[in-house]
Amino acid sequence: MLTLLGFLMIIIFMVLIMNKKMTPLTALVIIPVAIALIAGFGPNLGEMMKNGVKEIALTGVMLIFAILYFSLMIDTGLFEPLVNFILKAVGDNPVKTTIGTAILTTLVSLDGDGSSTYIIVVAAMLPLYKKQGMNPLTLTCIIMLAGGIMNILPWGGPTARVMSSLKLGHTEIFVPMIPIMALGILWVIFVAYILGKKEKKRIAKYGKHNQYSTSDIVGEADPKLLRPKLIWINLFLTLILLAVMILDIVPLGIAFMIAFCIASVINYPKLKDQQKIISKHAGNALSVAGMIFGAGIFTGILNGTGIMQAMGNSMIEIVPKSWGGYLNIITAIFSVPLTFFLTNDAYYFGILPIIEATGRQLDIAPEILGRASLVGQASHLLSPLVPSTYLLVSLAGVEYSDHLKYTLKWAIGSSIIMLIGALLLGTI
C-alpha cells in the first residue's frame, strides 16, 4: 500500500509538472500533503514536514546566498574576461559552444559541489548562448549530463555514501569507476556535439532563439554596477571561498553568507547600492529557496510515512529469485529508477545494504554491487528530489518540466553507456 502511494505521489507530481498544471513549488507541497492526509497520516504530518525542512534548511540557506554572491560577482563584471575569452575561442559556432560547455562543466565539477558548478558554468556560458541565439535548454542539459558523471567523485556524495554503507575504501569503489567516468564524459561530449549541430541547423532554418527569461542569473547588465578596478580583489575573494568550500572549513551556507557581506561592502560601500543588489536578485534567490523547502516537505513526508523505504524494498522484491546470479546487472539497471525516485540517503543507506546482504548469499562481492549502484547517478540529478536541479533551471531561466523532457533521454543514454562500459571492462 505504501509503495502504491509513493509511486502515485510521484506520478501525479510528474504529470502535473510536465503538463504545466502546477509550479514545482505548489506540487512539491500540495501533492504529498494531500496523499498523506488521505492515507491517514494527518496526526503526524506536522512533525514529518518539520523534519524534512530541517534536513534541507542549510542547503536552502547556502543556495540563497550562493545566488546572491555570484549574481553580485556577475554585476561587478568578474566573469566578463572569461566570457570574452571563451567567445574568442568558440566564435559564432554553436557546436564549439556546446562542446565547450561540456568540457568547462567537467573541469569545474572537480570541486564536487553541484550548486557552485551550476552557478559558475551558467554565469560563464549563458551570455554566449544568448549572443548566438541558442536554446538555454541545451545549456542545462549538457551541464546536468556532465555533472551527473562527475557526481561519482568520492567527495561528490554518492560514492562516499556507498563506501560508508558497505564499509569499503575508495580503492575498491571509486578507482575502478574512473575508466567508466571517462567513458561517460566522452559520451557527454558526443551528445554536446549532436546538440550543437542541431542548434546550428535550427538557427540557420528558423533564426535565433530570443525567448529568454528576464529572471535568469545574467539578466540585464547595468553598467553602473561594473567594478573593473576591483576584479582582482573579487577574484581573490572567490578563490578563497572555493578553497573554504573544498577544505570544508565552515558550513558552505555560512561561507557564502560571509563572502556575500564582504563583497557587498567592498564593491558597493553606499547603502543604497547594497539594497539595489539585494532587491535585484531577491526574486531569483527566493524562487529557488521556495522550491528547496518544498522539496524538504516532499522528502520529509516520504521518509516519515515509510513510503520511501517501502518503494525501494518493493522494487527489489519484484526481481525473481532465479535471476539472483545477475544481481550485479540488476543492481546497475535498477539504480536508474531507484536513484531517480529516492534520495541518495534512502537508496545507499536503506536499500543498498539489503542488496549487499542478498549478494553475500550469492557469493557476489559487495564492491561489485557498490560500483553497480553508482551507474544510475547519470540520471539521478534530474530527480525532483534533488535540490540543486531547481537551482540550475532557475539560473538559466527555464522551466523544470521543459528541462526534464529535453534532458531525460540523454541522461538515460548516459546510464546505458556507463552500464555497457562497466560490463565490457569487468568493473561490475
* Residue 342 predicted with pLDDT over 90: no
End-to-end CA distance of the chain: 33
pLDDT category, 319, cuts 50, 70, 90?
Answer: low
pLDDT tens string 372-428: 888 888 888 888 878 888 889 888 889 888 999 999 999 999 989 988 988 888 887
pLDDT tens string 290-317: 878 888 888 888 888 888 777 767 766 7
pLDDT category, 219, cuts 50, 70, 90?
Answer: low
Mean pLDDT of 124-142: 91
pLDDT tens string 154-213: 776 788 888 887 888 878 888 888 899 999 999 999 999 999 999 999 998 888 888 887
What's the pLDDT at 249? 80
pLDDT category, 145, cuts 50, 70, 90?
Answer: very high
Which H or E run contains 52?
Answer: helix 45-76
Measured distance CA(157)–CA(172) in Å, rounded: 16
DSSP per-residue string spanning 312-348 = HHHHHHTS-GGGGGGHHHHHHHHHHHHHHHS-HHIII
- Residue in the block written with cell 506520478: 11
SS3 of the chain: helix, strand, coil, percent, to 5: 80, 0, 20
Measured distance CA(124)–CA(392) in Å, rounded: 13
* Residue 267 predicted with pLDDT over 80: yes
What's the pLDDT at 315? 65
